[in-house]
Amino acid sequence: MANQPSSYPILCASFNQDASLFAIGTRDGFRIFDSNNGRLCYERALGAFNIVEMLFSSNLVAIVGAGEQPSLSPRRLCLFNTMSGNALRELNFLTSILAVRMNRKRLIVLLQDKTYIYDINSLTILDTIDTVPNLKGICAFSPSLDGCFLALPASITKGSLLLYNVMELQLHCEIDAHLAPLSTMVLSSNGMYIATASEQGTMIRVHLVSEATKSYSFRRGSYPSTIFSLSFGQCSQVPEILVATSSSGSVHVFPLGFAINQSRRSGGFLGSIMLDSISDALDPAHHHIVHNAVPAGIKSYAVIRKVDRVADTSSSEIVACRATLAIITYNGYFQEYNLSLSNQNEFSRSLDCEFNLLTAIANNDVRL
């Protein structure tokens, strides 16, 4: 989530792979917070940063400058140790770095028309992928080593994407998700599902990665809107919840697990023989909306941090779930909501906390 307009005090925002920590980059440096209690764990005043990516809860952070200082080039990736305060390695590129992703085995670096896959331990280049022009650095990455996929746009004229298995270093499949170009996408933590939105922003589509088939579609609204972020809840199989933030300022909550289970029970023959354009018109429009969560037009980034499932004691069927939703707004605020959903389409939410990320004071007792 980098390369934001200059009017925003926050230039980038990211959560680590298990959403236990989050980081922001500003014109003064970068800050890392504990997601569980909002404490400022670490800050470094080095200058402006466009990218700050963490590796779980380790001391390793990948940072890329915004180019506002000569020493912080947007073409240089620095692997930084927060414990020692020193750079471990630097990688230089010919053009600006647009996105960085990591897990315990791989380091992914996206440029405008190339993507590099590294072994994160030796920093050996394992593969180089030539891509269509990707000026916004759109990508999705699943950190699971068992389902470690990287998704990249496959076209600048339509919403198709390529899925790479970055452990086996091979193309997995191509998915035609939308008629319009992609605006954002996200993979579930286990790499089983991918959700996408196009520049039109009216439909959110979910595909099963293993079969490259559409599992479900959700209609966000009838009028175009920019989808800023998508997030699945943490899961071992089917994610229960998918959330989206948009330029309208609302947060859209889709009960994905309940929808897929209901679809399976109702039978899939009709949907299997209908064209996407027809079946989309019949997709359930009901979903849940947190209105005015963010000021309209302000960039935001939302992540489902936790999901607790409630099962029926007699049948073991999941009948409800409770989720913790964290939102970072690029005008400098953090919000956390408690969400509750049921298989009867009941929904409730409450704002648990909100604070200013730019005025937080570091707790010297907390270190990464």
Region 114-143: mean pLDDT is 97
pLDDT band at 320 (very low <50, low <70, confident <90, very high): confident
| Count of C-beta atoms within a 10 Å radius of residue 221 | 16
Rounded Cα distance between 291 and 295, Å, is 10
> What local confidence, expressed as pLDDT, does residue 262 receive?
58
pLDDT of residue 214: 83
Mean pLDDT of the chain: 88
Distance of CA 305 to the CA centre of its chain: 12
Using one digit for the tens of pLDDT, what is the confidence trace for 65-109?
A: 999 999 999 999 999 999 999 999 999 999 999 999 999 999 999
Render pLDDT for 145-195 as a digit per residue (tens, 0 to 9). Answer: 989 999 999 999 999 999 999 999 999 999 999 999 999 999 999 999 999
Average pLDDT over residues 279-308: 81
Radius of gyration of the chain (CA): 20
Q: Which of 132-141, 276-285, 331-340, 356-365 has the lowest mean pLDDT?
A: 276-285
* 232 DSSP assignment: E
CA distances for 67 relative to 3, 21, 28, 85, 259, angstroms? 11, 26, 12, 21, 45
Distance, CA of 53 to CA of 32 (rounded, Å): 10
Q: How far apart are the first and last CA of the chain?
A: 22
Tokens describing residue 2: 């980098």
Band the pLDDT of 206: cuts 50, 70, 90.
Answer: very high
Tokens (6 digits) for 197:
């939105």
What's the confidence (pLDDT) of residue 278? 37
The backbone region for 65, taken as left when phi is positive above 0, alpha when psi lies in -120 to 50, beta otherwise, is beta
Residue 238 has pLDDT above 90, yes or no: no
Out of 31-45, 124-138, 301-315, least confident range: 301-315
Task: Reply yes or no on whether the pLDDT at 134 is more than 60.
Answer: yes
Residue 286: what pLDDT?
59
* Per-residue pLDDT reduced to its tens digit, 257-277: 776 555 554 444 434 433 344
Instruction: Determine whether 24 is exposed, middle or buried from the number of CB atoms within 10 Å of its CB (0-12, 13-18, 19+).
Output: buried
- Whether the predicted pLDDT of 368 surpasses 70: no
The arithmetic mean of pLDDT across residues 54-58, rounded, is 97
Distances (CA, A) of 237 to 232, 242, 308: 12, 14, 14
Give one word for 352, left, alpha or beta, with left for phi > 0 and alpha for psi -120 to 50.
Answer: alpha
Copy the structure tokens of residue 148.
């470690």
pLDDT band of residue 236 (cuts 50, 70, 90) is low
Asked if pLDDT for residue 364 goes beyond 70, the answer is no
- Per residue in 210-233, pLDDT (tens digit) is 988 887 888 888 888 999 999 998
The residues near 27 (Cβ < 8 Å, ≥ 6 apart) are 9, 11, 47, 48, 66, 68
Give the pLDDT confidence score for residue 270 in this predicted structure.
38
Strand order in the sheet with 106-110: 99-102, 106-110, 114-119, 125-130
Q: Compute the C-alpha angle 37/287/294, nearest 5°.
A: 45
